[in-house]
A and B are shown apart, each in its own frame.
Chain A
Amino acid sequence: MKVKRYLRLLGIQLKASGLLSLQYRADFFTEGLTSLFWTFTALAPLFVVYSERPNIEGWSFGEALLVVGWFTLLQGILEGAINPSLTGVVEHIRKGTLDFVLLKPADAQFLVSTQRFQPWRAFNVLTGIGLFAYAFTLLGRWPSVTGLLASVLLLGTSTLLLYSLWILTVSAAFFVVRVDNLTYLFTSIFDFARWPSSVFQGVGRGALTMVFTYVIPLALMTTFPAQAMLGRLPPQSLVGAVVGAGLFAWGSRQVWLRSIRRYTSASS
């Protein structure tokens, strides 16, 4: 019963932002172009690096390209579905209008997470898929079916992780109010997911790899799915990713609930 109600609610919110984005159809092209642009900047260092060495920390150019592909794809999800609504939360907190959301008879986290989508931003997803195709042509083979299935499963966990990280960042907005640019901070942390996580092994005796696997699980988001596509992700890592993402989401939910409780509206 409850699920049905929330699904209907989601449908309404989706429709509203869908209609809004249809108003700005020219955005489809500009978003597409800018997404291609940024993908190119993301690739530029790789081109330079791989003109020096055929192999870096066990990743060839085509394989590293898969990681960038995942990075681009997740960026599309982040900017199209997660960023817009949560930027709205920061705005709400600052203006004190979050009260209106909290008063509504539905879960606040659900409401704020679904308030706005920017479908055109999802153009990055297409760019990411294009990169996969290009990478596999370079590698001269195609991913196995199990590999693909595993990577689709990991797409789910990556999105969940990304979303949970975002919730944590937004929860911080309850404590420090002037944080219009939290979005930038977040995207810059996400930047570390650009390269295969093994690249970070040499720094601080692997401490950075530990951080990016367990504390801020960036390795799980881009490196694991790329490995799955290549068919070299050990099954226990897959299980670990699913369990880890679940725990992480649960943790962020707890933090969110605690922050909400601490929230005092700006007007009172």
Chain B
Amino acid sequence: MSARTTLRAFPTLLRVGFAEAVAYRAEMLIWVLSTTMPLVNMVLWMAVSREAPVGRFGEADFISYFLATFAVRQLATSWAAWLINWEVKQGTLAMRLLRPISPLWAYAVESIAAFPMRLMVAVPVILLSVALVGQKAVPQHAWQWGFVVLAVIGGWAVAFLANVAIGALCFFLESSQKVLEVWLVLFFVCSGYMYPVELLPPTLRTIIDWLPFRYQIGVPVEMLTGAYGWEESLRLLAAQWAWVAVLGVLAAVTWKQGVRRFAAFGG
């Protein structure tokens, strides 16, 4: 499982992953359509802001915020926890373990390979946002766009690594679906997915700043809507990547400890 074999396998894995994403495009479309939550909430917040703006958010700001949320959710997402649970239960993980490359890399590459397809959904949504709201829906400066890319990748990494860590818990708990559910609930409440985190009372905001959830969706969305100046953006990115590092270690450790306990039944 040397670094060299892993690197050599990358292009092939990417190609396979991409082919899979293309093959299951109808299924992916259904997944995309099933993430309508931001739109539901967009409508609610538009109704609220019709009379007077909420904080710095007017009706147009809510439109661009939630459309950005919809787009970012397509990219910064991962279902690795679900997949790991399923493969452990089915015993098919044994097949992956036989390959000369860590399953974690395989999961990651599969997820990354779907990016081109996912961009085909995300980009039109952003363009729609520009069409509805105008130029101010997206960042004005080139450096801000650079930060958007970094923040989206960071958001994906947070989602993926947390998923791996939770998924690996199934080696100890038989099934970690319930843990995943708890994570999802906290994600919905704390990530800025249902409302901009800014609108919460200050104490709650401080707590959320210290939790990983906001860095998956909220921060990339705020970058994409050009909410911050140079310094604040840099601070948020640093916090996001710090979480990526922490979750990375956590994922690697739980996976390594867990896989030792793995005994494939019928695999």
> Digit string of A31-49 for contact with B (CB within 8 Å is 1, else 0)?
0001001101100110011
Set of chain A residues within 8 Å of B46, measured between Cβ atoms = 202-203
The CA of A38 and the CA of B195, in the complex, are separated in Å by: 16
Set of chain B residues within 8 Å of A56, measured between Cβ atoms = 44, 47-48
* Contact, CB under 8 Å: A44 / B188: yes
* Contact, CB under 8 Å: B33 / A34: no
* Contact, CB under 8 Å: B189 / A49: no
Set of chain A residues within 8 Å of B243, measured between Cβ atoms = none
* Contact, CB under 8 Å: A40 / B185: yes
Within 8 A of A (CB), among B161-188: 178, 181-182, 185, 188
The CA of A191 and the CA of B37, in the complex, are separated in Å by: 7
Q: Does A145 contact B (CB under 8 A)?
A: no
Q: Does A188 contact B (CB under 8 A)?
A: yes
**Segment from A80-88, A176-184, A232-240 that makes contact with B:** A176-184
State which size class the interface on A falls in.
Answer: 35 or more
Closest residue of B by beta carbon distance from A177: B26
* Contact, CB under 8 Å: A184 / B30: yes
A189 touching B36 in the complex, CB below 8 Å, given contacts A37-B181, A199-B47: yes
* Contact, CB under 8 Å: B40 / A194: yes
Q: Does B34 contact A (CB under 8 A)?
A: yes
Q: Does A107 contact B (CB under 8 A)?
A: no
Q: Does B50 contact A (CB under 8 A)?
A: yes
* Contact, CB under 8 Å: B45 / A49: yes
* Contact, CB under 8 Å: A184 / B41: no
Closest residue of A by beta carbon distance from B47: A199
* Contact, CB under 8 Å: A45 / B36: no
* Contact, CB under 8 Å: A188 / B34: yes
Q: Does B250 contact A (CB under 8 A)?
A: no
* Contact, CB under 8 Å: A191 / B33: no
Nearest chain A CB to B158's CB is how many angstroms away? 19
* Contact, CB under 8 Å: A52 / B47: no
Closest residue of A by beta carbon distance from B63: A203
Q: Does B210 contact A (CB under 8 A)?
A: no
Within 8 A of A (CB), among B36-67: 36-37, 40-41, 43-48, 50-51, 54
Query: What is the interface size of chain B, counting residues whose CB is below 8 A from a CB of the partner?
Result: 32
Within 8 A of B (CB), among A188-244: 188-189, 191-192, 194-195, 199-203, 208
Cross-interface CB contact of A52 among B40, B194, B199, cutoff 8 Å: B199
The CA of A61 and the CA of B37, in the complex, are separated in Å by: 20
Closest residue of A by beta carbon distance from B35: A188
> Digit string of B186-204 for contact with A (CB within 8 Å is 1, else 0)?
0011000011000111000
* Contact, CB under 8 Å: A176 / B33: no
A37 touching B50 in the complex, CB below 8 Å, given contacts A178-B26, A192-B40, A208-B43: no
The CA of A194 and the CA of B37, in the complex, are separated in Å by: 10
The CA of A194 and the CA of B40, in the complex, are separated in Å by: 8
A49 touching B40 in the complex, CB below 8 Å, given contacts A41-B185, A185-B34: no
Q: Does B230 contact A (CB under 8 A)?
A: no
Set of chain A residues within 8 Å of B195, measured between Cβ atoms = 44-45, 48-49
Set of chain B residues within 8 Å of A199, measured between Cβ atoms = 43-44, 47
* Contact, CB under 8 Å: A203 / B34: no
Set of chain A residues within 8 Å of B20, measured between Cβ atoms = none
Q: Does A30 contact B (CB under 8 A)?
A: yes
Nearest chain B CB to A211's CB is how many angstroms away? 12
* Contact, CB under 8 Å: A48 / B37: no
* Contact, CB under 8 Å: B36 / A192: yes
* Contact, CB under 8 Å: B188 / A41: yes
Residues of A within 8 A of B (CB): 30, 34, 37-38, 40-41, 44-45, 48-49, 51-53, 56-57, 176, 178-182, 184-185, 187-189, 191-192, 194-195, 199-203, 208
Q: List 28 A-B contacts (CB under 8 A).
A: A38-B185, A41-B189, A41-B194, A44-B189, A45-B194, A49-B45, A51-B201, A53-B48, A56-B48, A179-B27, A181-B27, A181-B34, A184-B31, A184-B34, A187-B34, A188-B33, A188-B36, A188-B37, A191-B37, A191-B40, A192-B36, A194-B40, A195-B40, A195-B44, A199-B44, A199-B47, A200-B43, A202-B46
Closest 4 CB pairs of A and B: A184-B34, A188-B34, A41-B188, A199-B47
Residues of B within 8 A of A (CB): 24, 26-27, 30-31, 33-37, 40-41, 43-48, 50-51, 54, 178, 181-182, 185, 188-189, 194-195, 199-201
